[in-house]
Amino acid sequence: MNEGVNGQTLIHSLTHSHTYSSLSLMSIAQTNFQFPAQEAFYRGKVRDVYTFADRLLMIATDRISAFDVILPQQIPHKGQVLNQLSMFFMQATAQEVPNWLLASPDANVAVGLRCKPLPVEMVIRGYLVGSAWRAYQKGQRDFNGYVLPDGLRENDRLAYPIITPTTKAEQGKHDEDITSKEILAQGLVLPEVYEQAESYTRTLFRMGTEIAERNGLILADTKYEFGVHEGKLYLIDEIHTPDSARYFNLATFDEIQAKGERQPQRSKEMVRQWLIANNFQGREGEVIPTMSEEWIAEIRAEYISLYEQLTNQTFQPAPTENRLQSLEQHILQYLAQ
């Protein structure tokens, strides 16, 4: 993680009269804490990261980004969904793939090993969707050495999952596709480390696919980040969340695909498609559209629905009253142990 400049604390209150009656939902937009022994602070697209000598503390805020742009409005409880869903999958996969996670002292907080991140993200795709489909439409057939046949349609299942890495761009800039050969040729990652990262990527995708299918979902594609700590490779950041993965509904997928109709995507893709429909893809000169409270409520409901379906657990929203104070207090209690 890189050091950043501390921002000012900003909280947005959102009320949706139809769905939530008089309940006022308070979002965590930013944090600006100063903890004992804290060495650095970095504000990412979604997470606020506090660095200590031997560990990182990540607060999953309710910010939402798309096309590498942080949107000005937040989604209530989105950060909690991301954090707790990552906890669920990391615990489910830890025996086969080591991860950075040490503790979760608050619903929005993950504490883990202070790893040195690899400068690439490992994207793995089981279906032709998202940016891969957009590139395929433009004529691209070679994806990191995997040559796809002509005649595929959007959302078609691939013969086998393919890994298509990307660079990790600075905030505000776009990640770029990069081949495995380029990663090694440029010396970005040592060959043995990259081989391990690819192996872990396939293992995680297999396990995520199995969990999703048991719960009526298809894991279409996702991305993983890895880091090194004391010479060992670990999964870091998040895993299989609506922000980092796309899901389809298993029961209706084949029928919808046979009809050539648009597949409902259970992920942040719903926000991307809404932005595209409102003439925004993060390009220079484009204006970010304003989300209505109804649309914000719909996004929130979808994130929570996906969490409950994947985990078979009822989502318990963290109390919103004095949320920043309780968040800070939980962290201080953990650090004092």
Cβ within 8 Å of residue 172, ≥6 positions away: 68, 69
Instruction: State the pLDDT confidence band at 26, using cuts at 50, 70 and 90.
Output: confident
Instruction: State the pLDDT confidence band at 147, using cuts at 50, 70 and 90.
Output: very high
At residue 21, the pLDDT reads 31
Residue 181 pLDDT > 90: yes
Closest residue by Cα to residue 241 from 101, 94, 86:
86
At residue 20, the pLDDT reads 36
Residue 216 pLDDT > 80: yes
- Buried/exposed 219-257: b ≥16 CB within 10 Å, e otherwise: bbbbbbbbbbbeeebbbbbbbbbbbbbbbbeeeebeeeb
With beta carbons less than 8 A apart as the criterion, state whether 60 and 29 touch: no
- Average pLDDT of the residues in 253-266: 94
Closest residue by Cα to residue 152 from 121, 182, 180, 128:
128
Cβ within 8 Å of residue 297, ≥6 positions away: 16, 18, 19, 20
- Average pLDDT of the residues in 52-62: 97
- Average pLDDT of the residues in 183-212: 98
Neighbours of 211 (CB within 10 A): 18
Burial class (CB in 10 A: 0-12, 13-18, 19+), 37: exposed
Cβ within 8 Å of residue 178, ≥6 positions away: 120, 165, 166, 167
Instruction: State the pLDDT confidence band at 25, using cuts at 50, 70 and 90.
Output: low
46-50, 166-170, 280-284: which is most confident: 46-50
Neighbours of 265 (CB within 10 A): 20
With beta carbons less than 8 A apart as the criterion, state whether 103 and 334 touch: yes
- Helices vs. strands in the chain: H and E counts, helices first: 9, 18
At residue 152, the pLDDT reads 98
At residue 320, the pLDDT reads 85
pLDDT per position as a tens digit, 109-141 = 999 999 999 999 999 999 999 899 999 999 999
| DSSP structural state of residue 177 | B
At residue 142, the pLDDT reads 98
- Average pLDDT of the residues in 269-293: 94
Indicate the Cα dihedral angle 183, 184, 190, 191, nearest 10°. Answer: 120
* DSSP-based helix, strand, coil % in the chain, nearest 5: 30, 25, 40
Residues in the chain: 337
With beta carbons less than 8 A apart as the criterion, state whether 335 and 36 touch: yes
Q: What is the mean pLDDT of the chain?
A: 91
At residue 168, the pLDDT reads 84
At residue 13, the pLDDT reads 30
6-20, 104-118, 255-269: which is most confident: 104-118
Kindly list the structural domains of the chain, giving each domain's residue range(s) and its CATH number in brackets, ordered by start. Answer: 117-275 (3.30.470.20)
Give the Cα separation of 78 and 60 in Å (integer). 8
At residue 175, the pLDDT reads 77
Burial class (CB in 10 A: 0-12, 13-18, 19+), 60: buried
With beta carbons less than 8 A apart as the criterion, state whether 207 and 186 touch: no
The tokens for 79 are 């950060």
Instruction: State the pLDDT confidence band at 7, using cuts at 50, 70 and 90.
Output: very low
- Buried/exposed 193-208: b ≥16 CB within 10 Å, e otherwise: ebebbeebbeebbbbb
Helix (H, G, I), strand (E, B) or coil at 273: helix
Indicate the Cα dihedral angle 50, 269, 177, 97, nearest 10°. Answer: 60
At residue 321, the pLDDT reads 86
The values of phi and psi at residue 159, to 5°, are -60, -35
Instruction: State the pLDDT confidence band at 1, using cuts at 50, 70 and 90.
Output: very low
Residue 330 pLDDT > 60: yes
Instruction: State the pLDDT confidence band at 6, using cuts at 50, 70 and 90.
Output: very low
